[in-house]
Amino acid sequence: MTIQGGAEKAYKNGYRGKMLKLGLDYEKFVYEVLPAQKRINIEPCKTKKEQYLYGENIAGWEIKFDRNFRNTNNLYIETGEKNWDAPHFTPSGIHKASWNYLIGDYQTIYVFTAKFLVASERKYEPVVTETSKGFLLPLSDAEEICQIRIDVEPRDKLL
């Protein structure tokens, strides 16, 4: 695969680290919002062994931050990931051993069953970058097929 647009340089200069931090910050936010607004309590896995066995949390919920969906009117549903210089993608997102797939931003959170998204994958526009692959789920479809939509109350009301 040819690296386009300086992806190697951007990747080595902290792009991956920045994206990981945004994702981890969002996970922490979700762990606060779910019990406060929906009485759903899930705890993150704290050890490498737990993460290997269960994923991000013991409940089996994959959590993704999509900071662009309001501009694109699509949710980016991840199906694979890799380092920029790796030859192949590894399953991720909906293809991990996940029960639910949670995606959104600090205003709206969508919860889907991972199995349903896997079954629907071929229906939607695929997207492949140097380090990620997935598909675009139109918001109009997301609204119809999500299990739960959480409209997040302002943070001061959560605490």
Please write the tens of the pLDDT for every residue from 1-39.
Answer: 333 445 555 555 677 788 889 999 999 999 999 998 888
When pLDDT is averaged across residues 80-107 and rounded to a whole number, the result is: 88
The 3-state DSSP class for residue 77 equals strand
Please tell me the distance from the alpha carbon of residue 159 to that of residue 157, in angstroms, as a whole number.
Answer: 6
In a domain, 99, yes or no: yes
Of 89, 94, 66, which is closest to residue 79 (Cα–Cα)?
94
The per-residue pLDDT for range 100-131, each reduced to its tens digit, is: 999 999 999 999 999 999 999 999 999 998 88
- Rounded to the nearest integer, the mean pLDDT of the chain is 86
Asked if residue 78 is part of any domain, the answer here is yes
Question: If you average pLDDT over residues 127-156, what whole number do you get?
Answer: 91
Domain limits at 30? Answer: 7-158
Per-residue confidence (pLDDT) for residue 135, from 0 to 100: 97
Most confident of 1-15, 73-87, 105-119, 144-158: 105-119
**The pLDDT of residue 134 is above 90:** yes
Average pLDDT over residues 60-86: 92
Instruction: Encode 24-62: b = buried (16+ Cβ within 10 Å), e = exposed.
Output: eebbebbbebbeeeeebebebbeeeeeeeebbbbebebb
Classify strands 100-104 and 125-128 as parallel, antiparallel or unpaired.
unpaired
Residue type, 114: A
Alpha carbons 117 and 103: distance in angstroms, whole number:
12
- CB proximity list for 133: less than 8 A, separation 6 or greater: 78, 79, 80, 81, 89, 126, 127
Give the total number of structural domains in the chain: 1
Burial class (CB in 10 A: 0-12, 13-18, 19+), 137: buried
pLDDT score of 158 more than 90: no
What pLDDT does 5 receive? 47
DSSP 8-state secondary structure symbol assigned to residue 139: H
Predicted TM-score (pTM) of the model is 0.84
CB-CB contact of 96 with 55 (8 Å) = yes
pLDDT of residue 3: 38
Asked if residue 136 belongs to a domain, the reply is yes
* Host H or E run for residue 119: helix 114-120
Q: pLDDT band for 72, please (50, 70, 90 cuts).
A: very high
11 lies in a domain?
Answer: yes
Residue 2 is assigned to a structural domain of this protein: no
The arithmetic mean of pLDDT across residues 50-74, rounded, is: 90
Q: What is the pLDDT of residue 13?
A: 63
